[in-house]
Amino acid sequence: MLIDGKPYRSIWREPDGDAVRVIDQTLLPHAFETTLLRTPADAARAITTMQVRGAPLIGATAAYGLAFAMREDPSDGNLARASAALLATRPTAVNLRWALERMQSVLQPLGAQARAAAAFTEAELLCEEDVATNAAIGRHGLSLIEAAASLAPGRPVRILTHCNAGWLATVDWGTALAPIYMAHDRGLPLHVWVDETRPRNQGAALTAWELGRHGVPHALIVDNAGGHLMQHGRVDLCLVGADRVTRQGDVANKIGTYLKALAAHDNGVPFYVALPSSTIDWRITDGLTEIPIEERAEAEVLEVAGRMADGGGQAMRVRIAPPETPAANFAFDVTPARLIGGLITERGVCPASASALATLFPDLALPA
Ligand code: MRU
């Protein structure tokens, strides 16, 4: 997508082929800096420190991490070790496991000498497919926005989104934001309500930044404002992403997504989840009991990161609770399928149900 008119992806291979470059998302929106990844440890660190984040981008970065590992040592032992180390970086987004298993299935049958080249080729292919997949999600989701526009003649369609499911969270386009970019590019008037998404503020730092760079009208709201806006008829559509979707359509996404779905349900606001099929975990059914929920450092809750609003804009962290206060930091929650109006996938929009998902993806669904 565009940054000040220049097209970017969130991850790309350097011209010499030796390394990949990613946008350091921990520095946004205050600084746009890129960083080089050359080793499996670099890739793992970028994921754990959240320089890269978002389910599809985590998978793409891990794929390159495995390619770096094969360049260092293409043995079976190292393939297993590097895969395990990368898999351990973050627990909830299943795209990580999906990408590593895809890479392993390509690499395992090969002789050691062929693995490094094949791994880079496959990682690159995975990234290209991610872009095409998200573009398809965008086209399918666009029809939902067009339908909402036909019910709101003469005013913008008002869409609420949570966290960042934009191009920064994928290789390009994004999932939940792909239909928004496509609608905007076609001249459909839109207004996006951006949840700030405590504690890491992916909405404030990343979604607002992306939308702003692309010229999409939006306003940042505090996480608790969505219910109020829905009660007052000021949201036409909720569009969010996903980190793991079960075979019956339960959705794990950034903490707070469930509360938005509840408010949408109570107010008759359509609530849609956009996801590539790589986010579906066909091995599990019940999201509440079977999806591992990441728990992160309490400092993310107890402190707020930002820049001094005046006095030179120095980066800083500010403590917001008494020094002795402990915190709990659950990074994701699960929205049950019954609260979801539909799933927007690369193959089309379907109800959040086991039968609809199996019908749309007969080649991927595992037998019940
Ligand atoms: O902790 P993060 O920033 O990796 O969480 C990201 C999200 O929850 C996104 O909504 C999700 O990965 C979908 S990205 C297309």
Mean pLDDT of 97-103: 98
The proportion of the chain whose per-residue pLDDT surpasses 90, expressed as a percent, equals: 93
pLDDT at 134: 98
Mean pLDDT of 127-146: 98
| CA 34 from centroid of its chain's CA atoms | 19
Q: Is 226 in the pocket of ligand 1 (CB under 6 A)?
A: no
> pLDDT for 179-194, tens place per residue?
999 999 999 999 999 9
Whether the pLDDT of residue 129 is over 90: the answer is: yes
Q: List the residue whose alpha carbon is closest to atom 8 of ligand 1.
A: 254
Please name the amino acid found at residue 125. L
Structure tokens at 314: 């120095």
pLDDT at 105: 98
pLDDT at 3: 87
**CA distances in angstroms from 244 to 44, 337, 361, listed in the order given:** 20, 12, 16
Q: Which residues contact 43 (CB under 8 A, 6 or more apart)?
A: 37, 61, 62, 64, 65, 68, 86
Give the C-alpha separation, 3 to 335, whole Å: 33
Query: What spacing in Å lies between the alpha carbon of 53 and ligand 1's midpoint?
Result: 7
Mean pLDDT of 361-367: 94
pLDDT at 61: 98
> pLDDT for 199-245, tens place per residue?
999 999 999 999 999 999 999 999 999 999 999 999 999 999 999 99
> pLDDT for 77-94, tens place per residue?
999 999 999 999 999 999
Q: Which residues contact 109 (CB under 8 A, 6 or more apart)?
A: none
Element housing 295 (H / E): none
Mean pLDDT, the chain, integer: 97
Q: Which long-range contacts (CB under 8 A, 24 or more apart) does 231-234 make?
A: 231/263, 231/267, 234/158, 234/193
Q: Is 242 in the pocket of ligand 1 (CB under 6 A)?
A: yes
pLDDT at 311: 61
Q: Is 257 in the pocket of ligand 1 (CB under 6 A)?
A: no
Structure tokens at 256: 């707070």
pLDDT at 237: 98
Whether the pLDDT of residue 312 is over 70: the answer is: no
Q: Is 53 in the pocket of ligand 1 (CB under 6 A)?
A: yes
Q: Is 256 in the pocket of ligand 1 (CB under 6 A)?
A: no
pLDDT at 304: 94
pLDDT at 185: 96
Residue 22's nearest CA partner among 72, 70, 57, 68 is 57
pLDDT at 78: 98
pLDDT at 1: 87
Mean pLDDT of 18-47: 97
Q: Is 254 in the pocket of ligand 1 (CB under 6 A)?
A: yes
Query: What spacing in Å lies between the alpha carbon of 356 and ligand 1's midpoint?
Result: 24
pLDDT at 16: 87
pTM listed for this prediction: 0.97
- Contact criterion met (CB below 8 Å) for 239 and 194: no
pLDDT at 368: 76
pLDDT at 14: 95
Which residues are identified as catalytic? 243
Query: What spacing in Å lies between the alpha carbon of 156 and ligand 1's midpoint?
Result: 26
The dihedral built from the CA positions of residue 131, 27, 217 and 300, taken in this order, carries a sign that is positive
Mutate to test the pocket of ligand 1, among 53, 134, 223, 293 (most ligand atoms within 8 A of CB): 53
Q: List the residue whose alpha carbon is closest to atom 5 of ligand 1.
A: 54
Mean pLDDT of 114-132: 98
199 preceded by cis ω (within 30°)? yes
pLDDT at 209: 97
Can you tell me which atom of ligand 1 is nearest the CA of 206?
A: 3
